[in-house]
Structure 1
Amino acid sequence: MQLIQGKKIGIMAICIAGTLFPYASTMAQESPTLVIDSGALQGVVNDGVAAFKGIPYAAAPVGQLRWKAPQPAPAWKGVRQADQYGHDCMQEPFPSDAAPLGSQPAEDCLVLNVWKPAHSATKKLPVMVWIYGGGFVNGGSSPAVYDGSQFAKQDVILVSFNYRVGRFGFFAHPALTKENPDGVLGNYGFMDQIAALQWVQRNISAFDGDPDNVTLFGESAGGFSVHSMLTSPLAKGLFHKAIIQSGGGRTSIGGGRYLQSPSSSGLPSAEDVGMAFAAKNQISGTDEKALAALRALPAETVTDGLNMMTMNDPTYSGPFIDGKLVTAEPQDIYRTGEGMNVPLLVGATDMDIGFPPLVKNMQEALAPLGKTQYQKAVQAYNPDGTYSAQDVAQMVASDQMMVEPGRFAARMATSQGQPVYAYRFAYVADSMKTEWRGAQHATEIPYVFNTVQARYADALTANDKAMAAQVQQYWVNFARTGNPNAAGLPDWPVYDAKSDQILLFSANGAPETAAVADPWKARLDLIENLFK
């Protein structure tokens, strides 16, 4: 992987900004201008927050740069207007996405956004870097619920960025391996994430951010990505704290696929999957001609309808173990005592995502836990007979995919001496209480960003607002110091496997948020036994 190196802007160019950029001075108060390693930027100020959007952090990954590690962003002359989001990365939007895109997807998409206080008393503000979810096939940095203004109002710099998804972000083929035999291959979306973190290290001081106080956080595929960054040798030293929201912790979404060999479970290699995609488009061979034909495919053909509904397509690999950036599954690295080298905040929602089979009865619902565990499983999951068999199957699947792996990550980090804070988010917006029996996957995000107005609009209540203020305050405190606690908030104890205390964001709202011994311990112990 080619690490992106900074480029220097001559001091003279800055000094003569009034001549070089004739319109900059007239808008200085309303639209701040600053200089980064690739040129000058002009943002916009609104309600005390300066926002800089659509900043290239790497060259456009198009043409000959399709399926290559991110390359340095070209420098520009004059002042670049940074007042609008760039394109989100090429994809087929997911119709029911809880965070709908705010810009048109395109292959030229490697841009980021920064929110900062318009005026700050310090030049070393804590920095938070957001990685969006979307199953590695959807998602972008432009959704309204990802707006970083509320973080900036609390003197925290918020950075969001786009990374390649789908076949643009995760693709292997023998011709690509031959082209770059000694390089990092296949996981281009993860390479983009590393390039964005490198950009932060080089440039965030220009925005009054502290490059030595960076918190990486993400949800769903973004949370899985945080695990990838925690365990990748290529991401070491690029961030100092981590928050994982519904991001698993044991295996990747790709399920243990390898670059060039089939997995023990029978998954074909990523290269075989790439060959299948090429064959679908009448491209054969493994030479330069085949690679040229693949790179010449229209972006829409590469996307080929891939999204959250179709991501199990046999011509799409997802992330995989490439041996250099991704060296093993997270759990295998954590078990060696590696990977968890930063303070951690981790949790899931109480009705999180999972993919259960259709079941006919409770025996089928609990079958994944083993026949000998059936009575224990009934007591753990459905002691009062409240739930249907399908409800229980969903709970088991959610615990397997998100909840127990999150507990595992907390325990691994604790065993390595890191402070850990574990949570479960159970709050449901007042307007949705009659539709949802619990907090669904990704519903905590508007509370973390305090963008609940964008999510619930006129249906927003004072109870919803109070929860958002509380949740974000915990995240801000953690970003500042590695400890989410502060005066006026319910105490959040450091996680300990023996006491198994988590912070429960109550279904009844902020006043009832409290640290409790995990009420799902028996459930999660059953899941843990499966992994053992």
Structure 2
Amino acid sequence: MTDLIVSCEEGKLRGKTSLDYHGGSFYAFCGIPYAKAPVGELRFRAPQPPEPWEGVRDATKEGYECPSLDMYFGYNIGHEDNCLNLNIYTKEIPMSESFRKKPVMVWIHGGGFMYGSNKADHFGPYYLMTEDIVLVAINYRLGIFGFLSLEDPSLNVPGNAALKDQVMALKWIKKNVHNFGGDPNNITIFGESAGSACVHYLTISPQTKGLFQKAIMQSGSCLNVWARGKPNAAEVAKCLGYKETDEKTVLHRLMKESARTIVNSQFKIKDGFFASQIRPLGPVIERPSPDAFLCEDPIEIIKSGRHHQIPVIMGYNSREGIFYELIRRTRNYANLQKTLELDVPYDCDIPENDHEGRKRVAEQLKQYYYDDDDICEENVKTRYLLTGDIQFVYGIQKAIQLQTKYGNQPIYVYRNSLDGPLNFFKKFCQVKYFKTAIMINFFAKMSGSNAVKSIFQNLRNKLPSNTIDGVAHADDIFYLFTTFFTPKIALGSEEDLLIQKFVKTWTNFARYGNPTPEADEIQNKVIWKPIESPEIDTIFDIDRHARLTDNMELDRMKLWDSMYSKYTI
């Protein structure tokens, strides 16, 4: 195909040919606008459908990121104009009516609702495109742009603009993906961390019925303590230095601010690392309206059985809380606390002014996790366990329990224990000279030569590191996507075989609704079956040798259940 042109509803697109990491060819169409640019009166508001264009639009280059800071190096990135774009990767363009459409996988990136984009530097398609799927990676607005939430209904900024962006993207995909070889009736949405929480929200919103048929949630749930925001005019005004806090004035001033000023200011907000604090910037429950993304507490939706009844994969990494190391290396307010009062969740059934009650719960947590030990650097690994449980594992397991009890579709539960050579997030957390590691990776990113990049990769690997057991938060990403610091993967190498454990299993689910439709060597001939009861009886443990295990976290989850009396079923 010498001139790679595909039509969509808005016009024609010119794509390009690329190669997966095994050397197979696929086609890429990048920077496709799925909504109008969120500028002018559309800043902070719900997205609007895209406008058509004349002629053939160049889709060989990626579009802008949504305004934010680079998630690795902290410099300003993005532009509001055409940041609501998506990238489509496909192995084959339909040339006849008899074409057999491919399963579609839609990636929703994470980044704490503050960082991230669909750029191949961070989420390269080169692993997943070894399989015969259509992969779509979307952008959505971040930080204040995506989560400004005002209570005055006349201002028309109720919140959840970022989630409404995702809905708009899914509508575009549903209408257009058949032109790229995708099956609009076989769409799987998947995401990690905040992207996974977004996926979960999408599965409970009435606005998304029929837009997808399956979902994969990696290390994130809408029941996690960090996945809920609140009306935030006061916090936004404070971070921007506004003396006025009334919503109308705040919005009026925000509409005139530069994107860079808003981005730089929003990172002054201490946004929800500690469980005791509801984060200012995140998904909210809106006033009822025809356009609202979410009008009820997610738990009430799930308990009523009104969440989408679709097959799902949900799971987490074996030691999610290792990410605490990265947080305290990059945040001056996240030092090791000597008490656990900041870890008592804000949504526990404890009155806000009951300080003694909060202390009692903190002591209960300390007794369980630390026994008689003091909280100190020598036992910081206990901090990892506690952080992982409250920030990730508990909310994920609670969601699984509820959806098993009040749903009728298969739920496949996993624990990722694969501690391999591509666990880069863990490498960042355990390296002793953190700033040096960041500098080396920065130069690797900026170098235009693979040979120079390889030199910096070797330097990075020689840095001394601490020893930490377990799989850190976000380590699973690097077995599904390439990044700017991914080394060259040799066919048949250990890395190649481990990548295929995720790629084959995830794409099987997208194709069949079953991650292991047959026993094969990739997953050690183990058949991954959906759980049969809310107690989460069997978990599929992803490792070099996959296995079925009991719920190792069960006792710890019972402790957290005892604190969440308002969630008791």
When the two structures are superposed, what TM-score results if normalisation uses the length of structure 2? Answer: 0.75
**1:404 CA drift (Å):** 2.1
Listed one character per residue, the Cα deviations across residues 135-180 of structure 1 (whole Å, up to 9, x for unaligned) are 11111000434222433331111101100001111113467x3243
Cα gap change, 1:284 to 1:453, in 2 (>3 Å): closer
Asked if 1 retains the 8 angstrom alpha-carbon contact of 2:319 and 2:472, the reply is: yes
The unaligned stretches of length 5 or more in structure 1 are 1-28, 258-268
1:477 matched to 2:467 = no
How far apart, CA to CA, are the structure 2 residues paired with 1:364 and 1:62? 38
Listed one character per residue, the Cα deviations across residues 208-236 of structure 1 (whole Å, up to 9, x for unaligned) are 11111111111111011012111211122
Listed one character per residue, the Cα deviations across residues 381-421 of structure 1 (whole Å, up to 9, x for unaligned) are 99xxxx95432132112111211221222222222111011
Q: Alignment partner for residue 419 of structure 1, among 410, 413, 418?
A: 410
The letter for the 1-side match of 2:528 is: W
How far apart, CA to CA, are the structure 2 residues paired with 1:342 and 1:78? 40
The letter for the 2-side match of 1:302 is: I
How far apart, CA to CA, are the structure 2 residues paired with 1:168 and 1:401? 24
The letter for the 2-side match of 1:399 is: D
Q: Alignment partner for residue 402 of structure 1, among 392, 402, 420?
A: 392
User: Corresponding residue for 1:517?
Assistant: 550
How far apart, CA to CA, are the structure 2 residues paired with 1:51 and 1:482? 26
**1:494 CA drift (Å):** 1.3
Cα gap change, 1:55 to 1:361, in 2 (>3 Å): closer
Cα gap change, 1:67 to 1:378, in 2 (>3 Å): closer
Cα gap change, 1:283 to 1:256, in 2 (>3 Å): closer
How far apart, CA to CA, are the structure 2 residues paired with 1:371 and 1:174? 37
For the residue of structure 1 that corresponds to 2:418, the secondary structure is coil
Asked if 1 retains the 8 angstrom alpha-carbon contact of 2:67 and 2:80, the reply is: yes
How far apart, CA to CA, are the structure 1 residues paired with 2:150 and 2:365? 44
User: Corresponding residue for 2:142?
Assistant: 165
User: Corresponding residue for 1:247?
Assistant: 220
For the residue of structure 1 that corresponds to 2:474, the secondary structure is coil
Asked if 2 retains the 8 angstrom alpha-carbon contact of 1:411 and 1:496, the reply is: no
Listed one character per residue, the Cα deviations across residues 74-126 of structure 1 (whole Å, up to 9, x for unaligned) are 211111111111011001223368xxx9x941112010000011367843211
How far apart, CA to CA, are the structure 2 residues paired with 1:92 and 1:376? 38
Q: Alignment partner for residue 442 of structure 1, among 471, 474, 477?
A: 474
1:203 matched to 2:176 = yes
1:155 matched to 2:132 = yes
Q: Alignment partner for residue 221 of structure 1, among 191, 194, 197?
A: 194
How far apart, CA to CA, are the structure 1 residues paired with 2:16 and 2:285? 41
The RMSD of aligned alpha carbons is: 3.6
The letter for the 2-side match of 1:205 is: H
Q: Alignment partner for residue 42 of structure 1, among 14, 17, 36?
A: 14
The letter for the 1-side match of 2:336 is: L
When the two structures are superposed, what TM-score results if normalisation uses the length of structure 1? Answer: 0.79
User: Corresponding residue for 2:111?
Assistant: 134
Listed one character per residue, the Cα deviations across residues 412-451 of structure 1 (whole Å, up to 9, x for unaligned) are 22221110111111222337596542211111012134x3
1:463 matched to 2:453 = no
Listed one character per residue, the Cα deviations across residues 182-203 of structure 1 (whole Å, up to 9, x for unaligned) are xx72211111000000001110
How far apart, CA to CA, are the structure 1 residues paired with 2:483 and 2:236? 40
User: Corresponding residue for 2:90?
Assistant: 116
User: Corresponding residue for 1:212?
Assistant: 185
User: Corresponding residue for 2:260?
Assistant: 300
1:76 matched to 2:53 = yes
Listed one character per residue, the Cα deviations across residues 249-295 of structure 1 (whole Å, up to 9, x for unaligned) are 424635452xxxxxxxxxxx3344445457x24667655x7644421
Cα gap change, 1:251 to 1:373, in 2 (>3 Å): closer
Cα gap change, 1:256 to 1:319, in 2 (>3 Å): closer
Q: Alignment partner for residue 382 of structure 2, among 392, 398, 404?
A: 392
How far apart, CA to CA, are the structure 1 residues paired with 2:246 and 2:10? 39
How far apart, CA to CA, are the structure 1 residues paired with 2:501 and 2:48? 40
Say how many residue pairs are matched.
475
1:430 matched to 2:408 = no
Q: Alignment partner for residue 67 of structure 2, among 90, 94, 98?
A: 90
User: Corresponding residue for 1:270?
Assistant: 232
Listed one character per residue, the Cα deviations across residues 7-36 of structure 1 (whole Å, up to 9, x for unaligned) are xxxxxxxxxxxxxxxxxxxxxx14421100
- Stretch deviating more after TM superposition (419-428 or 406-415): 406-415
Cα gap change, 1:158 to 1:200, in 2 (>3 Å): same
Identity %: 29
Asked if 2 retains the 8 angstrom alpha-carbon contact of 1:251 and 1:330, the reply is: no
Map 1:466-505 → 2, pairs under 5 A: 466-485=497-516, 486-488=518-520, 489=523, 490-497=526-533, 498=535, 500-505=537-542
The letter for the 1-side match of 2:418 is: Y
Asked if 2 retains the 8 angstrom alpha-carbon contact of 1:66 and 1:168, the reply is: yes
Cα gap change, 1:373 to 1:412, in 2 (>3 Å): same
**1:463 CA drift (Å):** 2.3
